[in-house]
Amino acid sequence: MKIEQTSLKDCYVIHDTVFEDDRGYFFESFNTKKFQELTGANTQFVQDNQSSSTRGVLRGLHMQTGANAQSKLVRVLEGSVLDVAVDLRKYSPTFGNYFAIELTQQNHKQLYIPRGFAHGFVVLSDKAVFFYKCDNFYNKESEIGIMYDDPDLNINWQLLKDELILSEKDQKNFYLADILHRL
């Protein structure tokens, strides 16, 4: 396992050591001790989530606030996604910046997203299976959503707007400027 610091403070790309032979591959996808030694994050994951989506599905940008904030460790089991993390910690030197990375079943990369970040992804392949660990339980009342096309963030989702498929809920997300008081 190798850790790569992203352009966002405390947000890391994790490169797993993959062992391949004629039978397939093997890798250790998570090890608490190694993770804590390499990141310095004392994160205890309590919930695993998985979703399956088709090309163009954009999920996000989501986050939970206050005592229900969540750190996440995300990866792709099948297909390819563009994964996006946005630093919304008011006193962070990278506040309002985003980091995007393509996560695929082939590259086995993972992204660690600390508490105080919004998160979302768009499916680039025909289908994707997305898996993530959370260090806090979901709490609907603490969830807020940021619009994927927020002009203050200016995220390049790599697909045309008419290719994107959003849930009804995500079509009603807020612009960052309108919810800064809730962060």
Q: What number of CA atoms fall less than 13 Å from residue 117's CA on the CB side?
A: 26
Helix (H, G, I), strand (E, B) or coil at 168: coil
Structural Rg of the chain based on CA atoms? 16
Confirm if 139 and 68 have CB atoms less than 8 A apart.
yes
The residues assigned a catalytic role are 62, 132
Token pair 């695993």: residue: 48
Q: Cβ–Cβ contacts within 10 Å for residue 19, how many?
A: 10
Which helix H or strand E contains 35, and what residues bound it? helix 32-39
